[in-house]
Amino acid sequence: MTIDSIIDSDNKFAKETRDGLAYLKNLTANLENWTLTEEQDNVKLYSKKLDDPDAPPLVRGDTVLADLPPGCTPFEVATVATLPGCRKIWDDRFDQAEIKEHYTRFEGLFWVKHKAPWPISPRDFVGTTIRDINPNVCYTSMISVQDDRFPDTPKTVRGKIIISGWKVDQQGNNIGITYVNQVDLAGYIPAAFLRKLLLQIPLCAGKVRNYIREFGFVPSLKLVSNKVEFKGEDFDHDKRAYNVQLSGDAHDHEVAHITCSSKMYPKGVSVVLTGGKGDVKQDTDDNNNPRIILKNLVGDVKIIITKAN
């Protein structure tokens, strides 16, 4: 079994976060009340009419990923869509991001900063994210929250994410990618530029698709034991270096599987375990992808995966 379902959490933003996830699921359930505005790069762009004419546009991008890399499922696509190290490559607006708190494996508090062309000030956001993972469909939602521990950043304008998120679902031999976004960028932005920007944002769906077509998917972690706690992960695209931090006492237990794309790592992978103790076994899965099996982890452990020489 894998531990993928939504995990209960008593963090102070739990209800807001789950309400945002429910809203995302409703928005992406079908195309009812969505108006097709145009198609670019094989991404269909939609907008939704809102009751408040002054509200920021609610926009959507739909595309399909065909010719999947071996072993690629909605989970792998959702990981590419959300991991900052990937987003830095496929989203030219992205500047930097930090996970401030991990509430569960798939829920946390984040800060993110977006670039902006001169003379417009960069925007930053504080919010929560949550993923709902199932074998054939994955949802990832993000909303802004108010947290006084993270005041406005100098020389940036604090925006508000009303809703932003992904639906990634199996469609026969292909995978559908839907991105929904409604964001208040706050502060002054020329109206014509603002509207153009907000309508271009859903093209992110196609950028995730193109990333996977070109590079494959990033190492994909699945926990198979509740004996360890997920502490964080990151990915450096240029070095193809992935690391994950786990903590716990899982003696005599298999705790995690990490699948690596043979497209991204054609010569295999090198694995290093630091910090605590644990056993690392390497093999290949049914799709000939490098796979790492972690067992007997004890303490605070960091696993680093890089390209094999």
Nearest CA among 116, 202, 212 for reference residue 159: 116
Q: 255 near 224, Cβ under 8 Å?
A: yes
DSSP tag of 153:
P
Q: 223 near 245, Cβ under 8 Å?
A: no
Per-residue confidence (pLDDT) for residue 4, from 0 to 100: 46
Burial of 263 (0-12, 13-18, 19+ CB in 10 A): middle
Residues in the chain: 309
Q: Which two tokens stand for residue 199?
A: 């309508």
- In the chain, which stretches have pLDDT less than 70? 1-7
Per-residue confidence (pLDDT) for residue 3, from 0 to 100: 39
The CATH class for the domain spanning 14-215 reads: alpha beta
Residue 76 backbone phi and psi in degrees, to 5: -65, -40
Q: 202 near 61, Cβ under 8 Å?
A: yes
Per-residue confidence (pLDDT) for residue 11, from 0 to 100: 87
Per-residue confidence (pLDDT) for residue 5, from 0 to 100: 54
Nearest CA among 224, 198, 217 for reference residue 294: 224
Nearest CA among 301, 240, 246, 243 for reference residue 275: 301
Per-residue confidence (pLDDT) for residue 110, from 0 to 100: 96
CA atoms within 13 A on the CB side of 137: 9
Q: 220-307 domain in CATH 2.60.40? A: yes
DSSP track, 14-35: HHHHHHHHHHHHHHTS--TTEE
Tokens 């199932």 sit on residue = 134
**245-289 pLDDT tens trace:** 999 999 999 999 999 999 999 999 999 999 999 999 999 999 999
Domain boundaries, the chain: 14-215, 220-307
Per-residue confidence (pLDDT) for residue 7, from 0 to 100: 66
Per-residue confidence (pLDDT) for residue 35, from 0 to 100: 97
**175-216 pLDDT tens trace:** 999 999 999 999 888 887 777 777 789 999 999 999 999 999
Q: 43 near 208, Cβ under 8 Å?
A: no
Per-residue confidence (pLDDT) for residue 112, from 0 to 100: 97
Check residue 211 and give left, alpha or beta (phi > 0: left; psi -120 to 50: alpha): alpha
Q: Which two tokens stand for residue 241?
A: 């270096």
